[in-house]
Amino acid sequence: MEQSRAAYLVEALPYIRNYQGATLVIKYGGHAMVDESLRDSFAQDVALLRFVGFNPVVVHGGGPQIDELLKRLKIEYRFVEGQRFTDPATMDVVEMVLCGRVGKDIVNRITRAGGEAIGLSGKDAGLIKAVRKRLPSRNADLAATPETIDIGQVGEPSSINISVLTHMTSGGFIPVIAPIGVDDLGVTYNINADTVAAAVAVAMKAARLILLTDVPGVLDKENNVIERLTDAQVPELKKSGVISGGMLPKLDCCVSAIRGGCKSTSIIDGRVPHSLLLELFTDKGCGTEIAAAIPPVKP
C-alpha cells in the first residue's frame, strides 16, 4: 500500500516541475458546483495547486443557482437558442447570484482549504470589457440582409485587463471570477463562463485551460473517452456528428484558446472527486486533452 501511494507522488513529480510558476485557468461549473463534497474537493485541489507553485485562476458559472432565485422571486425566464434571455430584471439576479452567493461560497471554501482567494467580477478594475452578443437568425444564410435575434444583456468579452490578475497571482492570491462584463457605456452583460475562461487564458498566456463538465470528456461513437485531440481534428469530428450538442461550444472555446496561444486545454469530468489533480498530475488524466496540431514556435 505504501509503495502504491509513493508511486502516485513520483508520477506527479514531472508535472509539478513542468508547471512551476505557470498560470492555469479553470472553468468551474456543472455538478461539481452543486454536490457538497465535490465543492470541498474542488476547493482543496485549487489550494493545493497554489501550494505547489502553480497560479490557478478560477472562472465560475452558476446557472442552476440563478434559476433557483428567479423562481423564488417569481421572475419568468426563458432561453433563446440555448442562451438565457437576459432582461434588466434577470440581469440583476444573475449579478446578485454570481458575484454574491456563488462567488463568495467558492472564495470561502478555497480559503478554508488554506488558499487565499479573492472574488472578482468583470466590473472590478475593468477586468472584462464586453460587447453585446447577437445571434444570427435561422434563415441568416438565405437572407440578403441577415437579421439577428435579440437575447438582451448577453455579451461577449472584447478585452481582458490582466493587470489586476497578474498583481493578484504574483502576490499569492487566487482570483475567482464571475463572468459579468461591462461595455464602454457602463451596461452590464451576462457572459458564458466558458467563453470568459478562454479569453482569460489567452490574455494571460496560460499554460492550461481546464473546463469542468458533467461528462467524462469528449466521447467517440462508441461512447469511449477520446483522451487526446488536436485542434485540427475538431472540424472533422463536428462534421461526422461525433461532437454535438453542448460539447460543441466547449470545444470551440478550447480551439479558440489554443489558437490564441494557450499551450493546452482539457475537458474533464467534474463529477469525479479531485478531478483537477488527476488531470494535471497523472499520466492517464481525467478527461480529454486538446492541444495544437502544430505547436507554436518559441520566439
What's the sign of the alpha-carbon dihedral 219, 65, 58, 108?
negative
Count of structural domains, the chain: 1
Evaluate whether residue 104 is within a structural domain.
Answer: yes
157 found inside a domain? yes
Task: Specify whether the CB–CB gap between 271 and 32 falls below 8 A.
Answer: yes
Percent of the chain with pLDDT over 70: 93
Within a domain: residue 254?
yes
Residue 295 lies in a domain: no
* C-alpha cell, 50: 497554489
Residues 150-182: tens digit of each pLDDT: 899 999 999 999 999 999 999 999 999 999 999
Residue 35 placed within a domain: yes
Checking if the pLDDT of 97 tops 80, the result is yes
- The alpha carbon of 73 is separated from its chain's Cα centroid by a whole number of angstroms, namely 28
Pair 92, 98: CB distance under 8 Å: no
Give the pLDDT mean for 30-56.
93
Q: Is residue 193 part of a domain?
A: yes
Q: What is the CA radius of gyration of the chain?
A: 19
Cell triple for residue 273? 472527486
Q: 171 lies in which domain range?
A: 24-223+248-282
Within a domain: 298: no
Residue 16 lies in a domain: no
pLDDT of residue 198: 97
Q: Which one is predicted more confidently, 56 or 248?
A: 56
CATH number of the structural domain spanning residue 174? 3.40.1160.10
